Structure 1
C-alpha cells in the first residue's frame, strides 16, 4: 500500500508530497524547537532536476519571522540557514546530523540566506489536518497564483545573477523572482522568472502586499510585467490551496 500526503502552503508557495510505502525506510520528524544557532544541517532536494543533491550549512536562527521576509500574512517563524537551496529544492527535507527532519526547504533570498518551515509547524499541521478529517470538517482554503516575490531594489538590479535586465523606472516594483515549481498557474499564464510586476488590476505594485491583497480579493487578475524593455500584459485566475496552519 502506498500513501501520498500533500502539504500545501500558500504562505510559502510550495506543496510537499510525502510518500511512504510498506517496508520503505523513513526519516524521523525531529523537534525544531531544539535547534540552536551554529548547528550543522543538510538540505536534500533536486535543484535543476538533479535528483538527490545534498548541500550542507549551519543554522543562523530558528525563529526568523515571516514579516521580516516581507510575508505580511505569515505567522511562521522560519529556520534560516546558509545551506545552498536552489530552484527545485522546495519541498525537500532539512536534516540535522542525527538524521532527523527538522524543516522543509521553501525559500531562497540570495546565496547563503535560505529558509525552511520548522518541523514543529509541520507536525502541528498534520495533527490539525488529521483532527479535521476525523471530525469531517472541510479544510480552510486560500487563493494563490504560484509565484515567489521579493521587492526589487537597487542592489537586486545590480546583481546580474538574478537575470534582471530592467531599468531604474521599475526600481520599486515587485520581482517575480522564482516561479513555484509545482504550480503551473503562472507559467501557463506566460510569466517567467525575472519578470517585474508593475501593475495588477490597474494598481501600481510598490509592495508585495498589493499583489497579496489582489489575490485574496479578486477572481481574475490583469497583470502588467516589465520584461527587459517591454511591458507585457497577462491574465491569471487564482487557484485555491489548503491553508497551512
Structure 2
C-alpha cells in the first residue's frame, strides 16, 4: 500500500511538472531590463483630466396635504407641506477644455447642488459653477478657473466596436483615482429608463467595473481618448455585476456645445411618429431587414416632410451609422442641435434611398389640441416646465366654452402625466394619445397644486 501510494505520488508530480513546463514554454519571459506591458504610461497622461466632485445643497420635497386635514384646521391650512433637507454627495467629472476650464459630469451628480467643488489629482480644490445641464440625457457642464488644467482628448465614439478594450476612471465610493478595465459589451443601449421616461438614451455598455461615485467619470480607449462618460450600473443590490453604461463622447460633445453656445439644449426635431421595426412587421411588409425605425406618421410642415420622408418608410441609418430602433433614432436626433443637417438612410417599398433633412427646433413645436384629441379642442400645447422645473406640456390659449375649457384646462396648466405615465413634452403626449383609446386621465400641475382631469 505504501509503495503503491509513493509511486502514484511521484507519477502525479511528474505529470504536473511536465504540464507546467509545457504551458510555460509559449509564454514570454521578461527579464530585469525588459519592460512589462502596462497601461500606466497612458493613465499617467489621462488621470489628471479626471476630477473628483463634491456637492452640497438642500433638497426640497413637497407633499400634498389631505383634504381631511384642511377640513379640521381651516382654510388657512396650506395645500402642501414643504420639507427642506440638506444633502452632500460625491461623483466624478472630466476636464474637456483646459483653456476655458470646462468640466463635464452627469446631471444627477450636481442636480439641486448649491455648492460644487472639484478636486484635481494634484490635490487642488476649485469652486465650480454650473453652465447648464440636461436632465433628459443626464449631462451637466461645469466651469472652473482655468489654471494649469489637463484636458482629455475626445475620440470618435461612433467608431467604437463591441470587443474594443476600454478603461473606466473615477472615484467610486469616494476612493479617488480608481481605474478599472474591460471591453465594450454592447452599443446603442436604449429603453433602459435610466434617465427617466422621456429621456434620451444611447448608451455604451461595458464590463469595466463601475460603481457608485463613478458617475461622470471617464471611459477611455487604450490611446487615452475619451469614448464615454460613465453614468449608471445595472445591479440588483446597487453593486457592480459587470454591466455598466456610459454616454457616448459624440453625444456628450453635441450637448455641451449647445450649452456653451446657447446656455441651454436646443434639440433637433424630425417630426415623425413611429416605432421599432421587428421581424413580424418586416415579414408583413416583405422587407429584408429586421431592425430600424418604422415611420407611422409624418407631421405636416415638419423637417421630415420637407426632407421627403413618407409614412411607411423604414429609417435604417443616420449619417452613415446604422439605426437599430426608433428609440435610438430619437436619441440621436434629440441630442443634435436644431438646424443640423443629417443624412438618413431609409427603405421604401423595398428600395434603399438616402434623404437629407435639416432638423427643426424641438422647443418651438406648438400644436393645437384638436390635432391630438377632439375632446381637447380649444387649447394650444407646447413644451414647458412646472414652477418646480419639471418638464411637461404647457397649456395655453384655452378658448372659452371650448371642449378643453369644459374639461377644466386653464392657461398655464402643465400636463406632466397621462394614465399614470410620465409625459415630458408634446411629442410624447401626442404619441400616447394616438396609440391609446378609452378613458384618459391627465395629471395636471396648476401652480403648486396637482389635479387629474378625466376624458371619458
**TM-score, normalised with respect to structure 1:** 0.51
What secondary structure, in the 3-state scheme, does the structure 2 residue paired with 1:107 have? strand
Answer yes or no: is 1:103 the counterpart of 2:233. Answer: no
Answer yes or no: is 1:112 the counterpart of 2:249. Answer: no
Q: Deviations over 1:107-156 (max 9, x none)?
A: 101211110000001111122223325xxxx667xxxxxxxxxxxxxxxx
Find the aligned partners of 1:109 and 1:124 in 2 and give their Cα distance.
26
Q: CA deviation at 1:220?
A: 6.3
Answer yes or no: is 1:76 the counterpart of 2:198. Answer: no
Q: 2:170 aligns with which of 45, 54, 58?
A: 45
Name 1:204's counterpart in structure 2. none
Q: 2:259 aligns with which of 129, 132, 147?
A: 129
Find the aligned partners of 2:252 and 2:224 in 1 and give their Cα distance.
17
Report which structure shows greater RCO (CA 8 Å, sep ≥6). 1
Find the aligned partners of 2:135 and 2:166 in 1 and give their Cα distance.
25
Larger radius of gyration: 2
Distance 1:104 1:31, change over 3 A: same
8 Å Cα contact 2:204/2:247 also seen in 1: yes
What stretches of structure 1 of length at least 5 have no aligned partner?
Answer: 141-208, 223-245
Q: How does 1:114-193 map onto structure 2 within 5 Å?
A: 114-133=244-263
What stretches of structure 2 of length at least 5 have no aligned partner?
Answer: 1-98, 104-129, 236-240, 267-418, 425-442, 451-456
Q: 2:157 aligns with which of 21, 32, 46?
A: 32
The aligned length equals: 151
Structure 1 stretches of 4+ with a deviation exceeding 6 A read 219-222
Q: 1:64 aligns with which of 172, 181, 189?
A: 189
Find the aligned partners of 1:84 and 1:40 in 2 and give their Cα distance.
13
Distance 1:221 1:50, change over 3 A: farther
After superposition, the CA RMSD in angstroms is 3.5
**TM-score, normalised with respect to structure 2:** 0.29
Find the aligned partners of 1:16 and 1:129 in 2 and give their Cα distance.
7
